[in-house]
Structure 1
Amino acid sequence: MKIEKMHMNTNARIVSKVLTRNRSTFYALKELINNSIQADSTCIEINLLPSQKDNDDLTYNLIERIQVIDNGRGVPYSKFRKSILELATDNKPDGCGVGRFSGLQIGRNMRISTIGFDEDFKVFTQTNVTFDVKQFEKDDLTTIEFNVENEILSDFTNCGYNVEIFNLYSNEIKCAKKNKLGSEFLPENFSLKLFEHYPLYIFNQTIKFIVNGYTLKRSDFVTETPKLQRTTFTDSFGKAHEVRLQYFNLKLNDPKVRLFIQCLNGDVQSTALELTYNSMWY
């Protein structure tokens, strides 16, 4: 592979607190998943990888690395600088161009490897770069040099985007709450949390979600076909909005009534707010 040194372009402004903008590390991970969905991925693989050591080793970590791998469009090398190394851009409607770095809220290092098809030169390219959170502590991001590996692939290959996060903050002795892996990442919770935030993609099987090698299925989470109810809400400005209510019978350990409010984030429909109805009758 060839190596080219690239600088980051911030469009004349620095993004403040770019690495801690999400409410939690799970929402930081969702930024990466949303990027995969917006890249027209039909398969998203998420791996929560433990240490390659014995469980009784004092330095063993339940989650040592996190991978998000998709089969979306990928980024060809000719567009890598614009698509990846520009912060605070308008690459996406309603976006600010920082979501692709959200992995650095979870770990100190993040590696991106992407294969894309260059429409101008009619070739497939593979491009790799590794980010260190220390690089983002400088006042002027344009002075940072990144070693960007690139290669022209000789054969047809599938496009995609691969993110790997390592040196996780949660494995350090002191870890700020905003950088700590929450209970959503526990093995018994993670798949259900994904379904709660992306229920229609999983239920309708428009996107295959794979967690640690296991493909999530609708039957893992629901007992029957959801019921749909439509209504209209008119705001104070007289604008009408369609409201869709979908009722799922979820397989939960604790029988509770839970409400998930979803919205369109760009082209991605995901959960923005979660409410749980607590009562002695449930």
Structure 2
Amino acid sequence: MNFHKTTESDSHYDHLEKMSIQKLLSNINREDKTVPFAVEESLPQIEALVEQIVLKLKAGGRLFYIGAGTSGRLGIVDASECPPTFGVSHDLVVGIMAGGDSAIRKAVEFAEDDTEQGWKDLLDFQIDPQDVVIGIAASGTTPYVIGALEKCNAKGIITGCITCNQGSPLARTAQFPIEVVVGPEFVTGSSRMKAGTAQKLVLNMISTTAMIQLGRVEGNKMVDMQLSNHKLVERGIRMICEATGTDSFMAAKLLENHGSVRNAIKAFNHGNR
């Protein structure tokens, strides 16, 4: 099968070094505007994968993201934001990247080229068929990610992927591929740009939709968010006020006594039946 990496194709722009700051910013922004439309084309693929994720999470499974470089970092960011945003445990959504945690800040040379290490990294978490694994790779060719998904398939573990090239080896490996074709980057081959933006948008959609389906949002509010700073405590107080009609003093006391927005609202409603 012919496979062409559009993420590596020449930029539509040239002589970037001769452009003014204004022109550079304007052209980057022009390219960025195309990304949500590319994501829109992939909504049926995203829906198919999220349906599987919700089923597995409701049955006690976990969601894993696995990637290298920018793609790996984006998965780790999304996973790390689920506990504070939705109040879930840190082991429900897990981000893994080639080279380990040290690679989050500094690239580990050739880590992404190891076809066996991705599966080994998943085994550290006792991965099993209750779980879902999403491989993230803009190119769709990262050996670390493809090798991990191949092993998952062989072990009966549901696999998905997020890639930005059509018909890639990764998409052919994943049972539920998501292909968001964003085209050439502004700086040729710099897939941290449009491809990275596309991956971030898709990750937002996957985790947010799954958490809503799991009951972690009420109305449009993050009722299970962790109260880890003053801003979030103040937000929680406002949410309680809006939901119950009580004043901020009483809302603060409810929040202090019950530890979460959800429990504070329940306690107020129970006490005012």
Question: TM-score scaled by structure 1?
Answer: 0.28
Higher helix share: 2
More strand as a share of residues: 1
The normalised TM-score by structure 2 is 0.29
